[in-house]
């Protein structure tokens, strides 16, 4: 096991955490400004990094230690108290820097409003990408409580930049539903996924580009497995639903970046922090072994 309180994600030695040699770079973004229900997402990045010390570095499924590709952890962005547009500028600059250095950025939220600027930088770098969203909520509102950059508008802003495939959805407004229906947006509702054994293949087919950016709002998981989010929803995805689809995405497409957002750590509920940390490590391994790696 790694040390109890790591200085970096997984608590790995300098040999594997040095930025210059790392294939992945973790960017903590402890942002909480537009939350509309439960709070605490600003504490998400630090809780994930702390929990990552308990992640076993050997992956029993992949049969190797993915950290050996190198996973650097950058200092947390100074976003506390900043308005959404200033936060977006800082996130965009950080992600662009990581991408320009040929690394895969891993953004740790914070609320979901951190995703659009990360996607914008990926789009600027690669031009032709699709976003795959894991989420309970469609996040397609044009504005929420007067703020167009709210966490509830994350995918509306993303869709201004590039196409997206949305999975696990089980909460949206009538206006959002009308947009989905009118435009035929590739959105996979949780209740339909439950009854469709081939939903993953159909979702992959809906990704029209070779390159993908993945955003994982942790409330995509069923709230019994992941209650520590700002807006939990019942009826969500299981651990194996999520990791099986991440494995398939990595096999069929090339992942250029991803984020994990909306963890709101709860006292004495370490399982949620650990789930997020292990999910990230799993995805790192899948990115390394995927067909498009």
At which residue do the structure tokens 């947009």 appear? 179
Residue 34 has pLDDT above 90, yes or no: no
**Residue 1 located in a structural domain:** no
Q: Structural domain tally of the chain?
A: 1
Residue 99 within a domain: yes
* 150-199 tens-digit pLDDT: 889 999 999 999 999 999 999 999 999 999 999 999 999 999 999 999 99
Determine the pLDDT at residue 125: 97
pLDDT tens-digit series, residues 52-63: 999 999 999 999
Confidence of residue 230 (pLDDT cuts 50, 70, 90): confident
Backbone angles phi, psi at 24, to 5 degrees: -125, 150
Q: What is the mean pLDDT of the chain?
A: 94
What the block records as the tokens of 162 is 């590039």
Tell me, yes or no, whether 174 lies in a domain: yes
Residue 245's nearest CA partner among 202, 210, 293, 208 is 202
**Pairing verdict, β 104-109 and 254-261:** parallel
pTM score, whole prediction = 0.95
Neighbours of 292 (CB within 10 A): 15
Q: Is residue 19 part of a domain?
A: yes
Residue 204 has pLDDT above 70, yes or no: yes
Classify residue 239: in a domain, yes or no. Answer: yes
Q: State how far the alpha carbon of 31 is from the alpha carbons of 107, 154, 164, 181, 213, in Å.
A: 11, 14, 23, 32, 20
Give the CATH number of the domain where residue 198 resides.
3.40.800.10
Does residue 204 form part of some domain? Answer: yes
Residue 163: inside a domain: yes
Strand stretches in the chain, DSSP E: 24-29, 71-73, 104-109, 129-134, 164-169, 187-189, 211-217, 254-261
Domain containing residue 21: 9-289
In a domain, 119, yes or no: yes
């Amino acid at each position: 096991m790694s040390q109890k309180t790591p200085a970096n994600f997984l608590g790995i030695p300098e040999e594997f955490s040095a930025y210059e040699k790392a294939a992945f770079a973790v960017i903590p973004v402890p942002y909480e400004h537009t939350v509309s229900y439960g709070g605490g997402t600003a504490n998400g990045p630090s809780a994930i990094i702390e929990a990552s010390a308990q992640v076993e570095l050997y992956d029993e499924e992949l049969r190797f230690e993915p950290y050996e590709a190198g996973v650097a952890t950058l200092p947390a962005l100074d976003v506390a108290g900043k308005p959404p547009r200033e936060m977006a500028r800082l996130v965009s600059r950080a992600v662009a820097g990581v991408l320009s250095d040929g690394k895969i950025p891993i953004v740790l939220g914070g609320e979901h409003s951190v995703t659009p600027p990360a996607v914008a930088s990926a789009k600027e770098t690669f031009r032709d990408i699709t976003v795959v969203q894991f989420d309970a909520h469609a996040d397609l509102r044009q504005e929420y409580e007067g703020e167009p950059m709210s966490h509830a508008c994350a995918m509306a802003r993303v869709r201004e930049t590039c196409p997206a495939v949305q999975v696990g959805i089980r909460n949206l407004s009538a206006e959002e539903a009308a947009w989905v229906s009118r435009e035929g947006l590739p959105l996979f509702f949780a209740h339909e996924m439950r009854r469709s054994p081939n939903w993953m293949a159909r979702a992959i087919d809906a990704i029209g580009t070779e390159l993908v950016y993945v955003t994982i709002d942790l409330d995509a998981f069923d709230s019994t497995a992941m209650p520590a989010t700002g807006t939990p929803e019942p009826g969500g995805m299981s651990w194996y639903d999520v990791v099986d689809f991440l494995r398939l995405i990595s096999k069929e497409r090339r992942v250029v970046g991803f984020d994990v957002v909306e963890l709101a750590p709860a006292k004495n509920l370490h399982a949620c922090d650990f789930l997020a940390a292990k999910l990230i490590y799993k995805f790192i391994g899948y990115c390394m072994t995927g067909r498009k790696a």
